[in-house]
Structure 1
Amino acid sequence: MGNDSGGEVGAFFAGFLVGGLVGAAAALLLAPQSGEETREQIRLRGVELRGKAEDTLADARAKAEAVAADVKRRAEELQIQSKVILEEGQKQIAEAVEETKKAAAAAVSKKEEEAPKAKAKAKA
C-alpha cells in the first residue's frame, strides 16, 4: 500500500517538475527580452517552482502519514477485537471441558455404584 502511493506521488512530483520547467523555458525563450532579463526570469521561476515542489511534497508526506496513522489505528483495533474474541473462545472451551469432566465423573460414579448390583444379579 505504501509503496504504490509512494510511486504515484513520485511520478506526479516528477511530472509536475518537468512540466513546470518545460513551460517556463518555453515562455522565456519565446519572449523578446535581453539575456540578463531572461536569466533573471529563469532564476525566479526556478525558485517559484522549487517552492511549489516543496509544498507538493509536504502535502504528499502529510497525506501518507495520515494514511499510515489510520492503518495503524485500525490494526490496533483489530488486534484488541481479536484478543477479546480469543479470550471468549478460550473461556467457552474451558467451560465445556469442565462440564465434560463433571459428566464423565458422574457417569463413572454411577457405573461404580451399579457394578456391585449387577454382579449380585449375575450371581443370583
Structure 2
Amino acid sequence: MSENNNDLGAFLAGFVIGGLVGAATAIILAPQSGSETRSQLMNQSQDLRQMSNERLQQVRQQAGEATKDVRDRAGTAFADARSQAHQVTGQMQEQARIVLDAGKDRAGQVRNQVNSFVKRENGTATE
C-alpha cells in the first residue's frame, strides 16, 4: 500500500509538472497578443485546477476506502483474537476444575487413610 502511495505521488507530481511545462512552452512559442496569452493562461490554469481537484477527489476516495478496509480487517482480527482468548480461558478454567477435583479426591483419600491409621493405632493402644 505504501508503494502505491509513492507511485501515486510520483504520478501526480509528474502530471502537474508536465502540464505546467507544456503550458509554458505553448504560451512562449505561440505568436499572439498579450490579451490572448493572458486569456489562454487563465483557461489553462482553470483546466489544470479542475483536473487537480478531480484527481484529489479520486485520491481522497481511495484513501477513504483503504481506511475502511483497514478498519474492517482490524475489527475482524480483534474479534477473532477475543474469541480465541475466551476459548483458551474456558479451556484453562476446565483444566483448573479437573485439577481441583482431583486434588479434593486425593485429599479425601489421604484423610480416610489418616483416619484409618488413627483408628488402628487407637485400637492397638487400648488393647
Query: Which TM-score applies when normalising by structure 1?
Result: 0.85
Q: Which residue of 1 aligns with 2:91?
A: 92
Partner of 1:69: 68
One-letter identity of the residue aligned with 1:105: K
Shift of residue 41, structure 1, vs aligned partner: 0.7
What pairs with 1:35-50 in structure 2 (closer than 5 Å)?
35-50=34-49
Q: Match for residue 30 of structure 2?
A: 31
User: Which residue is 1:54 aligned to?
Assistant: 53
Amino acid at match of 1:69: K
Deviations 1:23-68 (A, max 9, x none): 1010111112222111111110000000000011111111011000
For the residues of structure 2 that align with 1:110 and 1:102, how far apart are their CA atoms?
12
With the length of structure 2 as denominator, give the TM-score of the two structures: 0.83
RMSD: 2.3
Q: Distance in 2 between matches of 1:116 and 1:82?
A: 50
Taking the aligned partners of 1:19 and 1:37, their CA distance within structure 2 comes to 22
- Pairing of 1:93-112 with structure 2 (within 5 A): 93-112=92-111
Runs of 5+ unmatched residues, structure 1: none
Quick one: distance in 2 between partners of 1:42 and 1:19? 15
Report the number of matched residues.
121
In 2: Cα distance, 1:17 partner to 1:116 partner: 95
| Superposed displacement of residue 12, structure 1 | 4.1
Q: Percent identity?
A: 31
Distance in 1 separating the partners of 2:8 and 2:52: 12
Does the 8 Å CA contact 1:28/1:38 hold for their aligned counterparts? yes
Aligned counterpart, 1:22 = 21
Letter in 2 for 1:113: N
- Encode CA deviations 1:59-81: one digit per residue, 9 max, x unaligned: 11110110000000000001110
* Higher-Rg member (1/2): 2
